[in-house]
């Protein structure tokens, strides 16, 4: 009985912990995350205090409002868990990459049309959205800072399910650093490195989460990498079949019209640029 309970607890933690942490970048929602075959991973995950302190130093506190500074500092200075994920390298058009980072509901809606996810993401403001996994985890996500190479997200979430008498609340801070390099053939190589600071409000949860961190972390690493690979496939599809991506955009019924139209314009711009380059 104890073994069964531990298995169920592990499953719940994987559902809650990383969907709360990573839903903003689609990681834990990724329906293709089974293994890392074909994923371009650089380095390994890091969890030490040294890397955590480095990540904190890279947070652009001077570019945040006082209120945002307080919220971010409260999590990163006392996290239940910290993880720097392995760097993921993909080929992707930079403007489309940034657009999808800032509008993850586009990718989630594509998965919904494919019938392979129960995750939902609803835009609530220019920089905020609400998300749910359909299994008891809900979260609010805010982009508090964004530039070409740095995105900082603040998330608050809750798990309300059968394994706990009361809902479990948590917060996380996600720092995503991005690098761009144009290749000889004109395509772009993009590196993505994400630091995750997680803070949970539940008696004893800190110790359990830290104990299961190696298992949870590896699953999250794979999810992050495979989600970035899906973003790469969207960019490749835009290059090769812009009209098809334009038709796909018109079917995105869970995305606000201005965001849907912008996605369509990105796809056709990439397609037109590719065709022009090929004809030269």
Q: State the greatest distance between any 2 C-alpha atoms of the chain, in Å, as a whole number.
A: 68
d(CA 280, CA 271): 15
CA 44-17-191 angle, 5° bins = 35
Q: What pLDDT is recorded for position 34?
A: 45
Place of tokens 């990383």: 18
Q: How far apart are CA 136 and CA 12, in angstroms?
A: 10
pTM of the full structure: 0.85
Per-residue pLDDT of the chain (280 residues; tens, 9 = 90+): 444 444 444 554 545 444 544 443 444 455 554 444 445 666 788 999 999 999 999 999 999 999 999 999 999 999 988 999 999 999 999 999 999 999 999 999 999 999 988 889 999 999 999 998 877 788 899 999 999 999 999 999 887 877 667 788 889 999 999 999 998 888 899 999 999 998 888 665 555 555 555 556 677 777 788 889 999 999 999 999 999 999 999 999 999 999 999 999 999 999 999 888 777 6
The first and second tokens of residue 98, run together, are 């940034």
Q: Which residues contact 17 (CB under 8 A, 6 or more apart)?
A: 81, 170, 198, 200, 209, 216
Place of tokens 């800190």: 206
Q: Which residues pair with 171 in a beta bridge?
A: 156, 199
According to the 3-state scheme, what is the secondary structure of the chain? CHHHHHHHHHHHHHHHHHHHHHHHHCCCCCCCCCCCCCCCEECCCECCHHHHHHHHHHCCHHHCCHHHHHHHHHHHCCCCEEEECCEEEEECCHHHHHHHHHCCHHHHHHHHHHCCCCCEEEEEECCEEEEECCCCEEEEEEEEEECCCEEEEEEEEEECCCCCCCCEEEEEEEEEEEEEEECCCCCEEEEEEEEEEEEEECCCHHHHHHHCHHHHHHHHHHHHHHHHHHHHHHHHHHHHCHHHHHHHHHCCCCCCHHHHHHHHHHHHHHHHHHHHHHHC
pLDDT of residue 118: 86
Distance CA 266, CA 194 (A): 25
The sign one gets for the Cα dihedral 199, 201, 207, 212 is negative
For Cα atoms 221, 127, 67, give the angle at the middle one, nearest 5 degrees.
Answer: 95
User: What φ, ψ does residue 58 adopt, rounded to 5°?
Assistant: -85, -5
């Amino acid at each position: 009985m104890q073994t069964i309970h531990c298995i169920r607890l592990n499953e719940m933690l994987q559902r809650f912990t990383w969907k709360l942490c990573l839903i903003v970048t689609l990681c834990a929602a990724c329906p293709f995350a089974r293994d890392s075959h074909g994923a371009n991973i650089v380095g390994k995950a890091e969890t030490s205090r040294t890397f955590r302190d480095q990540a904190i130093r890279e947070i652009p506190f001077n570019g945040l409002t006082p209120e945002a500074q307080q919220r971010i500092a409260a999590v990163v200075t006392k996290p239940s868990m910290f993880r720097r994920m392995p760097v993921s390298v993909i080929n992707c058009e930079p403007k489309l990459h940034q657009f999808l980072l800032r509008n993850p509901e586009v990718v989630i809606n594509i998965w919904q049309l494919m019938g392979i996810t129960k995750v939902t993401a609803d835009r609530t403001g220019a920089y905020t959205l609400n998300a749910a996994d359909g299994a008891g985890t809900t979260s609010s996500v805010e982009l508090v800072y964004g530039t070409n190479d740095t995105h900082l997200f603040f998330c608050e979430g809750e798990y309300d399910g059968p394994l706990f008498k009361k809902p479990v609340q948590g917060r996380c801070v996600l720092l995503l650093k991005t690098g761009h390099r144009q290749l000889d053939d004109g395509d772009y190589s993009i590196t993505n490195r994400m630091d995750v600071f997680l803070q949970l409000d539940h008696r004893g949860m800190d110790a359990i989460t830290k104990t299961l961190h190696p298992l949870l972390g590896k699953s999250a690493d794979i999810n992050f990498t495979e989600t970035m690979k899906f973003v790469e496939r969207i960019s490749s599809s835009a290059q090769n079949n812009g009209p098809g991506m334009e038709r796909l955009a018109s079917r995105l019924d869970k995305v606000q019209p201005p965001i849907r139209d912008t996605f369509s314009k990105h796809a056709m711009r990439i397609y037109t640029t590719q065709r022009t380059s090929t004809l030269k």
